[in-house]
């Protein structure tokens, strides 16, 4: 009651002062966000929106607390420290004046959070609600609590007040309070799993471990269902931190879930680490079911292969093959077969892996499991991504999209993979429709790698239309996007291929400026797909000697994988110029796909019709008539698709071939050297 007495004396004094003629009463309202920004400018502090939000929340708009927080931020501790010393002292003095019972009740309330619920305090303290409200009145009178309008609950006036009270509790006292609070909330049907998880996690040392893991798992699954993937990762991390030592089965299960969640948000390395540990635990304990659950995550929904380029993990293949020799239900067998197909993709057993992936699809078709069918079709789409399989892949993508109730994220995966097929087939009308559908889906599903692929699709459109500045603007977004469903750092490859395409499109002389970077990056073992581009860049820069040296050093072999239908035409351009690699097998390899557009991956660059490259190769081989026919076909294809830039290039090539023929020059002579395929005779308009 002493605090109420003092508050009354203060009110009397203020009333007396307000009656004086020389005085004026001003209401000082708390700072808002604009006020905090102004204050930061005065203090010469960068006013980032995130910082303004944090400072406003923690200070409650109180200028003194705001100043203390800014000083704390400027100290070595930073805002991660619990409390600014000045604020802690002021709050401590105000709390010390309160009755002991009120201080105790505020301590309990601080463990519950910023909001103070009378029903919770009644249950935890085991006292009537009227007594709770009576004990909290002094805290309201001194401004430590504020009443929530329209109810009987309260709120700490500032986050710092709550922090000060909470920091004054001992470790054991905190843990016991959190346990009691968690047990109370658990009885409420409307209690949020995430809130329960945090309270039981804070009570881990007081017996809350099992409940913390249980509720963190529930909360993580709810977060995933709401597409709150980052929150799901944090909750699985919380569950992992609460597991007792020695419970290998529980650790394996949580690591599997955490690995899946990390992969979803784009943290491939973290996901790989978690899943490898889970697989190791399952192998050590002989838990076959846990091993299956962990290993099939590697075959989950994705738009590119999980492994670094060219890598096959022999150990993982062995584990998969061992599992497939034992008893399995049909669903697990299909998932494991699809995963094995993915794991074999980059090696000499790729064709065998494709058969496994197709077998997985056939099994899934016979089961009433739409999610499994979508997953196995996704596996097949990636495992069958080799030259000459565009039509089959397009059918698989459309089958995937026709699955009823397909989740939005899976729709995006299927649609972007379908777009890659449509682009190669030259169906730009349907491709445009899919791009618009993807944009709508992105409004509902925010995942880094999905965003990246749609932006790459936009880049393809820009390079098709010769809009180099727009393509370069999109490249700037690549570094901000995690290519997280793969351990291969593909962003650098895509950036350099797109930049090379743009520089070449403007004027091939500009390529010299990026030649050194291309050669340096292509030397890395993981960047083998960039090597033909670096060789072509050397030719563009007038360094034929370097181009020959690089081709001899790196070799000209092209693997049978997702980038081969781009690398073969690139080597075709080089061969038409140098005669290296051998133009005859390149011509034969490209001829069945003459009507396809040349596309890098899912679309970071598009280089027009394959007929254009075939024209140059035919000229190098002395097949004059075929060369002109291919050049005519390229020009017609580009005109029909409205690709004016590429039509101009094909007409320039055709003109060069006609001039060469009229002058009686050797088809493999000067005209090919002076006008190799794709090189403009003048800068693009």
What average pLDDT score do residues 311-323 get?
Answer: 96
In DSSP terms, 599 is beta-bridged to 606
What average pLDDT score do residues 567-587 get?
Answer: 96
CA dihedral 378, 379, 384, 386 (to 10 degrees): 80
Q: Is the pLDDT of residue 628 over 70?
A: yes
* Local structure of 298: helix, strand or coil: helix
Q: How confident is the model at residue 63 (pLDDT cuts 50, 70, 90)?
A: low
* Local structure of 599: helix, strand or coil: strand
The sign one gets for the Cα dihedral 462, 463, 467, 472 is positive
Half-sphere exposure in the Cβ direction for 464 (13 Å, CA): 26
Neighbour order of strands in the sheet with 154-156: 115-116, 154-156, 145-147
Q: How confident is the model at residue 680 (pLDDT cuts 50, 70, 90)?
A: very low
**pLDDT at residue number 583:** 97
Q: How confident is the model at residue 293 (pLDDT cuts 50, 70, 90)?
A: very high
Q: How far is CA 410 from the centre of its chain?
A: 15
Q: Is the pLDDT of residue 332 over 80?
A: yes
Q: What is the pLDDT of residues 91-106, one digit of tens each?
A: 778 888 899 999 999 9
What average pLDDT score do residues 576-588 get?
Answer: 96
What average pLDDT score do residues 168-192 get?
Answer: 93
Give buried/exposed letters for 610-641 (b at 16+ CB in 10 A, else e): bbbbbbbbbbbbebbebbbebbbbbbebbeeb
340 φψ region: left (φ > 0), alpha (ψ -120 to 50), beta (else): alpha
**Global confidence as pTM:** 0.81
**Mean of pLDDT over the chain:** 86
What average pLDDT score do residues 408-423 get?
Answer: 94
Residues 6+ apart with CB under 8 A from 506: 468, 683, 684
Q: Is the pLDDT of residue 574 over 70?
A: yes
């Amino acid at each position: 009651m002493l605090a109420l007495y003092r508050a009354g004396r203060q009110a009397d004094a203020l009333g007396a002062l307000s009656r004086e003629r020389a005085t004026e009463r001003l209401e000082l309202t708390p700072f808002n966000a604009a006020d905090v920004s102004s204050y930061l400018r005065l203090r010469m502090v960068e006013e980032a929106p995130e910082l303004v939000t944090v400072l406003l929340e923690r200070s409650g708009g109180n200028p003194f607390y705001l100043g203390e927080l800014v000083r704390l931020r400027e100290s070595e501790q930073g805002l991660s420290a619990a409390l600014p010393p000045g604020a802690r002292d002021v709050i401590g003095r105000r709390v010390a004046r309160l009755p002991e019972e009120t201080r105790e009740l505020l301590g309990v309330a601080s463990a519950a959070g910023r909001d103070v619920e009378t029903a919770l305090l009644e249950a935890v303290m085991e006292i009537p609600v009227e007594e709770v409200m009576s004990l909290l009145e002094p805290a309201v009178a001194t401004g430590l609590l504020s009443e929530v309008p329209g109810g009987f609950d309260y709120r700490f006036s500032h986050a710092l007040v709550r922090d000060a009270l909470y920091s004054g509790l001992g470790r054991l006292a905190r843990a016991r309070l959190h346990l009691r609070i968690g047990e109370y909330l658990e009885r409420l049907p409307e209690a949020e799993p995430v809130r329960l998880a945090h309270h039981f996690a804070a009570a881990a040392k007081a017996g809350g471990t099992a409940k913390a893991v249980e509720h963190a798992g529930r909360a993580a699954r709810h977060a995933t269902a709401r597409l709150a993937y980052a929150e799901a990762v944090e909750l699985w991390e919380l569950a992992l931190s609460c597991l007792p030592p020695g419970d290998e089965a529980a650790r394996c299960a949580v690591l599997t879930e955490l690995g899946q969640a990390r992969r979803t948000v784009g943290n491939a390395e973290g996901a790989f680490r978690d899943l490898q540990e889970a697989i190791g635990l399952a192998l050590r304990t002989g838990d076959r079911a846990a091993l299956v659950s962990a290993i099939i995550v590697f075959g989950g929904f994705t738009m590119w292969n999980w492994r670094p380029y060219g890598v096959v993990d022999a150990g993982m293949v062995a584990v998969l093959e061992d599992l497939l020799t034992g008893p399995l239900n049909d669903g697990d067998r299909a998932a494991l077969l699809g995963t094995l197909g993915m794991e074999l993709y980059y090696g000499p057993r790729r064709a065998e892996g494709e058969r496994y992936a197709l077998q997985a699809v056939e099994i899934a078709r016979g089961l009433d499991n739409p999610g499994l069918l979508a997953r196995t079709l996704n596996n097949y789409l990636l495992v069958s991504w080799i030259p000459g399989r565009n039509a089959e892949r397009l059918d698989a993508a459309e089958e995937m999209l026709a699955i009823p109730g397909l989740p939005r994220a899976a729709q995006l995966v299927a649609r972007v993979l379908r777009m890659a097929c449509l682009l190669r087939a030259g169906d730009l009308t349907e491709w445009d429709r899919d791009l618009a559908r993807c944009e709508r889906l992105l409004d509902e599903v925010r995942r880094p790698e999905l965003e990246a692929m749609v932006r790459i699709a936009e880049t393809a459109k820009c390079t098709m239309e010769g809009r180099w500045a727009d393509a370069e603007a999109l490249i700037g977004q690549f570094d901000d996007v995690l290519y997280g469903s793969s351990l291969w750092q593909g962003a650098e490859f895509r950036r350099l291929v797109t930049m090379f395409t743009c520089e070449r499109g403007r004027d091939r002389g500009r390529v010299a400026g990026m030649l050194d970077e291309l050669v340096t990056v292509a030397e890395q073992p993981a960047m083998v797909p960039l090597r033909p581009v670096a060789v072509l860049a050397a030719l563009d820069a007038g360094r034929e000697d370097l181009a020959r040296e690089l081709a001899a050093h790196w070799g000209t072999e092209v693997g049978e994988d997702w980038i081969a239908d781009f690398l073969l035409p690139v080597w075709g351009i080089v061969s038409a110029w140098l005669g290296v690699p051998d133009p005859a097998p390149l011509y034969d390899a490209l001829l069945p796909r003459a009507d396809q557009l040349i596309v890098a991956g899912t679309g970071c660059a598009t280089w027009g019709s394959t007929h254009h490259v075939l024209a140059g190769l035919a000229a190098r081989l002395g097949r004059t008539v075929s060369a002109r026919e291919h050049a005519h076909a390229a020009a017609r294809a580009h005109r029909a698709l409205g690709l004016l830039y590429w039509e101009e290039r094909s007409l320039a090539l055709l003109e060069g071939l006609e001039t060469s023929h009229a002058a009686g020059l050797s088809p493999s002579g000067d005209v090919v050297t002076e006008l190799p395929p794709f090189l403009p005779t003048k800068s693009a308009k």
